[in-house]
Amino acid sequence: MNVNHEKLNNMGLGSFFKNLFGGSQEKASEIKSDLNEAGKRMADEAKEVSENIQQKAAEIFDEAKESADNLSGKVKETWNDLKSEVNQEADEAEAQTENLKEEVAQNTEEIRHGTSSTIAKLDEEIDEVTEKLKNRKDNIEEDLND
C-alpha cells in the first residue's frame, strides 16, 4: 500500500502518532526526573534529621557534663561519689549517642539504598514501556506504509 504522507499529515494522523509517542517519552522522562528528585529530597531530609539528632545528643551530653562540674564545686564531701556517677552517666550517654549515630547512619543508608533500588526498578520499567511504545509506533508505521 502506497501511503501519501502529506495526506496523512493533512488528516492529522501523523501529528497524532507523533504527539502520542513523543508525549509518552516526555512523560517517562518527567516521571524519572521526579523520582530522582524525590529520592534526593528523601536522602537530604534523612541526613538533616540525622544531623539534628546528633547535635541534640551532643548538647545533652554537654549539659550533663556541665551539670556534673557545677555539682562538684558545690558538694566537695561527696565529689568522688558524684564524679563516679557522672562519669558513668557520661559514658552511658556517649555510648547511647554512638548507638544512636550508628542507627541513624544505618537507617540513612537503608533509605538511600531503598530509594536507589526503587529508582532503578522504575528506570527499568520506564525503559520497557518506552521500548514497547516505540515498537508499536514502528508497527503502525509499517502497517501504514503497506
Domain assignment of residue 85, yes or no: yes
The range of the structural domain enclosing residue 60 comes to 43-145
Domain assignment of residue 26, yes or no: no
More confident residue, 77 or 4: 77
What 3-state DSSP class applies to 1? coil
Domain assignment of residue 99, yes or no: yes
**pLDDT score recorded for residue 73:** 63
- 25 — pLDDT class (breaks 50, 70, 90): low
Question: What is the number of domains present in the chain?
Answer: 1
More confident residue, 128 or 1: 128
Of 39-48, 73-82, 105-114, the least confident: 73-82
**pLDDT score recorded for residue 104:** 80
Amino acid letter, residue 62 = D
Domain assignment of residue 112, yes or no: yes
Domain assignment of residue 18, yes or no: no
Inform me whether the pLDDT recorded for 9 exceeds 60.
Answer: no
| Centroid of chain to Cα 27 | 21
Domain assignment of residue 19, yes or no: no
